[in-house]
Amino acid sequence: MVSCNYATGVSSCSSGSKYQKGTTSSNGCGTTGLTLAQSNVMTPCCNEHDHCYGTAGKTQKSCDDEFLSCMLNKAGNDAADKALANSLYGAFAAVGSVPFCVAQTETVGCQ
């Protein structure tokens, strides 16, 4: 069974290696207390981020860094979208360990 360190956002197996035991899921740009409109330009990035959180071999930081890169790419030169990207990144870096660890324990196994 995968264990996950909520302080570091890293999952591990006490013996063996991690494998993908389940299908990842996404819900657009929504989590407890935060929801963006489905039409938001960031939605594809949010979906990729959700899938990343449930992927074997990923850490919370690697997923969050990919998320920021995707959002900044989508933002282009739009200052408001860049500000949103940085705000979302900061929020997930601060409190994303819970959804990361939940996703890891649901979809990643040890062999």
Asked if 34 and 91 count as a contact pair (C-beta separation under 8 A), the reply is yes
Q: Is 37 exposed, middle or buried (0-12, 13-18, 19+ CB in 10 A)?
A: exposed
For 14, which DSSP code?
Answer: S
Tell whether pTM > 0.95: no
Asked if 12 and 3 count as a contact pair (C-beta separation under 8 A), the reply is yes
pLDDT digits (tens, 9 = 90+) for 40-76: 788 899 999 999 999 999 999 999 999 999 999 999 9
